[in-house]
């Protein structure tokens, strides 16, 4: 049965990096991959066309497909819009609408790019962490929220952190299963010494751990986790945490490698439907200049093939092709270093296609 993919280029460098990933997808389809795709706007592009960052047009397509490939959203021209219409809200809305609660964000140091890290080589060489971040709960979506006026006349802002047992259980399951396929070490991050929500989190993770006796589980406070990621990041295999802590720690972790332009991510629902996107943002400052690094998006396509199309073979082909172009010394500006060959976004796409 043919698989359906939605392609959401988004804003900024989104269209450029997506174009290179689509070339790879086209090639796989030409060679027999049973899939088709259609485009839809998200974020600022969707606001421009439909007046909303996640319009019905895009909803209808995204609800029906098996997987979504997203570029990136956001740009300074949208900063003046009221917040509910801003690009990021489109991203939050699609995550919630499609129930994409399981966010997988690898932080990997590619041996060829070891110098790009600001950390000492011995601290990060071989780094390979998977952050599993809950993506549809927590203080991102909890009610009540907003800004109101207090009896004394001043205003107060409120947001609510919330997690139910079942929300914790389902993300915990994803994390334990991921750990089973890796080095069988899971670190659950919370702030159970202060926040009751994460006291429950710790209790449930501990409870689930009985079903995964082969995985060794530890618990760490979020402040300590932020320290340990600087001090000794290689101690981690899989980290599981809530939405807001995961937002912070996954960005911190991805920067450890110095090449966030290389890192893909997946956001999954309970039945393996997923949205795949690079970990980096829409980089408006270099948009339209054919300078962006398309590799994180191409690697996101590999994740899409693995997790939503169950095509491990095609996923590995892409990952090997990316390895090859790095070994050839090709580098976009963000990962360029002395002695390598500087290439544009589309030249990097050419090279991956040739290496496939």
Ligand X SMILES: CC(C)[C@H](C(=O)O)[C@@H](O)C(=O)O
Residue 89 CB neighbours (<10 A): 20
| Residue in the structure block whose two tokens are 């107060």 | 156
Q: How near is the Cβ of 103 to ligand X at its closest, in Å?
A: 8
251 is known as an active-site residue = yes
Active-site annotation holder among 247, 273, 276, 334: 247
The catalytically annotated residue of 221, 234, 251, 324 is 251
In the chain, the largest separation of any two C-alpha atoms, in whole Å, equals: 69
Q: Is 8 a residue that touches ligand X (CB under 6 A)?
A: no
Closest CA to 124 of 222, 255, 218, 219: 255
Q: Nearest residue by C-beta to ligand X?
A: 88
Residues 218-247 that bind a second copy (CB under 8 A): 222-224, 226-227, 229-232, 244-245, 247
**Distant-in-sequence, close-in-space partners of 179: CB < 8 Å, separation ≥ 6:** 185, 186, 212, 215, 237, 238
**CB closer to a second copy out of 84 and 339:** 84
Which of ligand X, a second copy, none lies near 154, with the C-beta cut-off 5 to 8 A by kind? a second copy
**34 part of the active site:** no
- Residue identified by tokens 């989104």 is 14
Task: Burial-class residue 340 by CB neighbours within 10 Å (0-12, 13-18, 19+).
Answer: middle
Nearest-10 Cα torsion for 236, 168, 250, 73:
160
Which of 47, 54, 140, 212 is flagged as catalytic? Answer: 140
Among 193, 206, 218, 341, contact with ligand X (rule: CB under 6 A): 193
Mask 58-77, x = binds ligand X (CB under 6 A)?
A: --------------------
User: Can 48 be counted among the known catalytic residues?
Assistant: no
> Hey, which residues between 216 and 275 contact ligand X (CB under 6 A)?
223, 247
DSSP per-residue codes, 299-310: HHHHHHHHHTS-
Is 190 a binder of ligand X (CB under 6 A)? no
Under rule CB under 8 A, residue 256 binds a second copy: yes
DSSP single-letter state for residue 311: -
| Residues 184-223: x where in contact with a second copy by CB under 8 A, - otherwise, as a string | -------x-xxxxxxxxx--------------------xx
Q: Which of residues 145-164 bind ligand X (CB under 6 A)?
A: none
DSSP state, residue 146? E
- Answer for the pair 247, 265: CB distance below 8 angstroms, yes or no: no
| Catalytic-residue membership of 223 | yes
Q: Find all residues with CB under 8 Å of 278, minimum gap 6, and list them.
A: 17, 71, 72, 261, 263, 264, 265, 296, 297, 299, 300
In the complex, minimum distance from the CB of residue 247 to ligand X, in angstroms, rounded to a whole number: 4
Q: Binding site membership for Mg(2+): which residues? A: 223, 247, 251
Using CB under 6 A, list all residues that contact ligand X. Answer: 88, 91-92, 193-194, 223, 247
Using CB under 8 A, list all residues that contact a second copy. Answer: 83, 86, 88, 92, 118-120, 123, 139-140, 142, 145-147, 150, 154-166, 191, 193-201, 222-224, 226-227, 229-232, 244-245, 247-252, 254-256, 258, 260
């Amino acid at each position: 049965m043919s698989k359906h993919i939605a392609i959401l280029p988004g804003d900024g460098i989104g269209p450029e990096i997506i174009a290179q990933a689509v070339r790879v997808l086209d090639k796989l389809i030409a060679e027999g991959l049973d899939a088709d795709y259609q485009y839809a706007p998200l974020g600022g592009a969707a606001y421009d066309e439909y007046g909303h960052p996640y319009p019905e047009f895009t909803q209808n397509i995204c609800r029906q497909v098996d997987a979504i490939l997203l570029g990136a959203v956001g740009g300074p021209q949208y900063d003046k819009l009221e917040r509910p219409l801003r690009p990021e809200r489109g991203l939050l809305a699609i995550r919630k609408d499609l129930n994409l609660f399981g966010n997988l964000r690898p932080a990997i140091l590619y041996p060829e790019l070891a110098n790009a890290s600001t950390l000492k080589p011995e601290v990060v060489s071989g780094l390979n962490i998977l952050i599993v971040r809950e993506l549809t709960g927590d203080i991102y979506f909890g009610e009540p929220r907003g800004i109101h006026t207090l009896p004394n006349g001043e205003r107060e802002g409120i947001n609510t952190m919330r997690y139910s047992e079942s929300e914790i259980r389902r993300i915990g399951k994803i994390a334990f299963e991921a750990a089973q396929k890796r080095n069988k070490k899971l670190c659950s991050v919370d702030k159970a010494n202060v926040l009751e929500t994460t006291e429950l989190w710790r209790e449930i993770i501990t409870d689930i751990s009985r079903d995964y006796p082969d995985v060794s589980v530890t618990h760490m406070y979020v402040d300590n986790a932020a320290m340990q990621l600087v001090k000794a990041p290689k101690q981690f295999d899989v980290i599981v945490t809530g939405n807001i802590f995961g937002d912070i720690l996954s960005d911190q972790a991805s920067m450890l490698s110095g090449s966030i332009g290389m890192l893909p991510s997946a956001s999954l629902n309970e039945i393996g439907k997923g949205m795949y996107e690079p970990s980096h943002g829409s980089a408006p400052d270099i948009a339209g200049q054919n300078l962006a690094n398309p590799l994180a998006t191409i690697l996101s396509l590999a994740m899409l093939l693995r997790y939503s199309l169950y095509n491990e073979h095609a996923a590995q082909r892409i990952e090997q092709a990316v390895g090859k172009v790095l070994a050839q010394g090709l580098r976009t500006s963000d990962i360029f270093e002395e002695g390598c060959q500087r290439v544009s976004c589309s030249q990097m796409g050419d090279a991956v296609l040739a290496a496939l």
